A and B are shown apart, each in its own frame.
Chain A
Amino acid sequence: MLAGILFALGVAGLLVRRNLVFILMSIEIMLNAAGLAFVTAGARWAQADGQVMFIFILAMAASEVSVGLALVLQLYHQNRSLDADEASEMRG
């Protein structure tokens, strides 16, 4: 239940905010909510698997944030703005 609410808040933040740093924060919130769901299920059935999955989610979140923040810096140096709509032109 709490995980669901946190996930919904993360999705809302992802959709509402246009600042890239806030979008990354919302992704963090959603990953955290997923981890919370895993740990709660693991505690409910008294298994260690939930915590193992949480550790994997943690590793994935850490790597995702490092790459995402590097991309944000790159984008800021190119566009001089953090608006996600500014970066929507794909020329290819």
Chain B
Amino acid sequence: MKQDDFSTLISRSDPGPGDGGRTGSWRVLRPVIDLGACIPSKTNKRACFNCWFYCPDGVVSKTIPPVIDYEYCKGCGICAEECPAGAISMIEEAHFMEEKNDECI
């Protein structure tokens, strides 16, 4: 390798999502929002957004209704724990797998 080439080599990363892969596959429990109980969805006003605020990975959107990005949600359950209305329930991923399998049959 020429000296010039060597001097221009740098270990530089570029920003992008999914450094740890599709972290949604880590999930055992899936957070599901009950829109009937969720405060901003129910009142159609910008309010609460605790799920967006406390999410360590920023996968919940600050919209009405809040949308969870299941591709990257790790399923920690902080949103379910911090939701003041108790609108988010953690449901086992196996349940969704079964549903998918039923559809196939």
Do A and B truly interact?
A: no
A binding-site residues for B, Cβ under 8 Å: none
B binding-site residues for A, Cβ under 8 Å: none
